[in-house]
Amino acid sequence: MIMFKLKEHNTTVGTELSAGFTTFLTMMYIVPVNGFILSDAGLPMDAVVTATALITILATLFSGLWSNTPIAMSVGMGLNAYFSFGLVLGMNIPWQTALGIVFLSGILFVILSFTNFRVWVMTSIPMNLRRAISAGIGSFIAFIGLKQMGMIVDNKATLVSIGDFSKPEVLLGVLGLILAFSFYAYRIRGSFILAIAITSIVGWISGIGTLPEGILSAPASIAPIAFELDIPSALTLSLLPVVITFLITDMFDTLGTLTGVGTRANLFQENNKDDKSLQRTLEADAIATTAGSLLGVSTTTSFIESASGVEEGGRTGLTAVFTALFFIATLFMLPLFKAIPSNAIYPVLVVVGVLMFTELGKINFEDSDLATSAGAFLMVIFMPLTYSITNGIAAGFLIYTIIKIAKKETADLNIGILVITFISALAFVL
């Protein structure tokens, strides 16, 4: 335990164990949820569940040992939905090519994480636009969750309309949504997985879905998806904006998570030149994304749920190690995960979307200039309406740059914004 420097961080093995279990409970939902989301893209759910559990174990373990921080990692919410509904179903990109895109973004992140690129990004892109990206992704995945539950349906005249709330499946989704919001509001440990469990039981009792044939089984093989990524097909100019989207979204998500968790745990102190924990956590995140694409899952990122472990007293990488060990149990829970009704899963997307959308409230639109307001608005509105995070980011940066040029406020346009604007233009031209 010497390597974790428990005494220096004023913690104990018992505290780290409790913190690791708390983090595990709060983010355990990602294994079945990611299985459902990526299976919608055509990947076999059995293999995805195993791969999700594996990358969570490996990435979190590596993060704990390499960076000595209580940061757990797994397949990121938001980009997994974009992977399935935006790329594979929306753009008709084969899931193998989509995995190639994730791999390329991961490689870029690995290269850049060993440089001062993160500082350049932080200083180049206005905070308000970064917050708008998070809010836009929130609106996107919430929209997907509502649609998958049948609360929103297609309509030829108005594009979308309210669903049929007399259907038992829709009512089950409503129950799941109420439970997820309520448990989270009361800060109950494992609020999402608890909401999924109760909603599933109600579904099984009412005949929605089938009872699990068992609870435990041997892990399913990941052979159908492992190393099936198609990198050559992803190396096309038309997909460059998508690769960049995965890169910057993963980076913003990670930096935002680490900032929030780090503040509470007194980690990642910028004024401490000897503190390499932030750099190493970014490196672990980037390597995990690359490894995840090889195993057959979308972008891996640092989880904000790590904050729950920090609140429990976790301060070192031992918390992450314990979290990884607890996730081993999910490798053997496939029969239970497969039996979960889909409308017990998708309410989680809506709640996570709402939590991400709250970033919009941190933008002071009264004080913001027109360029920022218009850019933020288009990011938030374009993502759900076009089923594309790429289109949202592209539209936001384009209108921001155009207005700045029109108002002759070119001093606000640094090289970072101009590069992203150019790549954004490619998203609409190619």
Residue-wise DSSP of 224-238: TTTT---HHHH-SGG
DSSP secondary structure letter of residue 297:
-
- Strand extents, DSSP E, 13-110: 73-75
Q: Which two tokens stand for residue 96?
A: 């193998």
Summarised one tens digit per residue, pLDDT across range 378-420 is 999 999 999 999 999 999 999 999 999 999 999 989 888 898 8
Q: What is the pLDDT of residue 292?
A: 97
Beta bridge partners of 74: 301
How many CA atoms lie within 13 Å of 428's alpha carbon, on the beta-carbon side? 15
Q: What is the pLDDT of residue 271?
A: 47
**CA distance readout (Å), 387 to 26, 79, 161:** 28, 12, 16
Q: What is the pLDDT of residue 118?
A: 63
Summarised one tens digit per residue, pLDDT across range 284-295 is 999 999 999 999
Q: What is the pLDDT of residue 368?
A: 77
Among residues 192, 193, 150, the alpha carbon closest in space to that of 173 is found at 150
Q: What is the pLDDT of residue 106?
A: 94
Mean pLDDT to the nearest integer, 61-71: 94
- Determine what percent of the chain is predicted with pLDDT higher than 70: 95
Q: Which of the residue ranges 121-130, 212-221, 273-282, 320-329 has the most confident prediction, judged by mean pLDDT?
A: 320-329
Q: What is the pLDDT of residue 89?
A: 95
Say if residue 5's pLDDT is above 50: yes
Q: Which two tokens stand for residue 346?
A: 């998708």
- Determine what percent of the chain is predicted with pLDDT higher than 90: 74
Summarised one tens digit per residue, pLDDT across range 302-356 is 998 998 999 899 999 999 999 999 999 999 999 999 999 999 999 999 999 999 9
Banded model confidence at residue 366, pLDDT cuts 50, 70, 90:
confident
Beta bridge partners of 73: 302
SS3 content of the chain, % helix, strand, coil (to 5): 70, 5, 30
Banded model confidence at residue 224, pLDDT cuts 50, 70, 90:
very high
Beta bridge partners of 163: none
Q: What is the pLDDT of residue 416?
A: 82
Q: What is the pLDDT of residue 122?
A: 62
Run of H or E including 195: helix 191-205
End-to-end alpha-carbon separation of the chain, Å?
Answer: 54
Residue-wise DSSP of 90-144: TS---HHHHHHHHHHHHHHHHHHHTTTHHHHHHHHS-HHHHHHHHHHHHHHHHHH
CA–CA gap between residue 125 and residue 123 (Å, rounded): 6
Among residues 31, 352, 341, the alpha carbon closest in space to that of 198 is found at 341
Tracing tokens 């979290």 back to the chain, one arrives at 323
Residue 121 or 217, more confident: 217
CA–CA gap between residue 382 and residue 396 (Å, rounded): 9
Q: What is the pLDDT of residue 270?
A: 53
* SS3 call for 307: helix
CA–CA gap between residue 246 and residue 17 (Å, rounded): 33
Say if residue 253's pLDDT is above 50: yes
The set of residues, in sequence order, having a beta carbon less than 8 Å from that of 157 and lying 6+ positions away, is: none
Q: What is the pLDDT of residue 295?
A: 98
CA–CA gap between residue 122 and residue 337 (Å, rounded): 39
pTM value is: 0.91
Contact 337, 32 (CB under 8 A): yes
Identity of the residue numbered 399: I
Count of C-beta atoms within a 10 Å radius of residue 168:
12
Contact 26, 194 (CB under 8 A): no
CA–CA gap between residue 113 and residue 281 (Å, rounded): 9
Summarised one tens digit per residue, pLDDT across range 134-193 is 999 999 999 999 999 999 999 999 999 999 999 999 999 999 999 999 999 999 989 999
Identity of the residue numbered 135: A
Mean pLDDT to the nearest integer, 105-128: 81
Can you give the residue ranges of every domain in the chain?
6-363
CA–CA gap between residue 149 and residue 273 (Å, rounded): 49
Summarised one tens digit per residue, pLDDT across range 23-34 is 999 999 999 999
Mean pLDDT to the nearest integer, 76-99: 95
Mean pLDDT to the nearest integer, 71-75: 96
Count of C-beta atoms within a 10 Å radius of residue 128:
22
Q: What is the pLDDT of residue 352?
A: 94
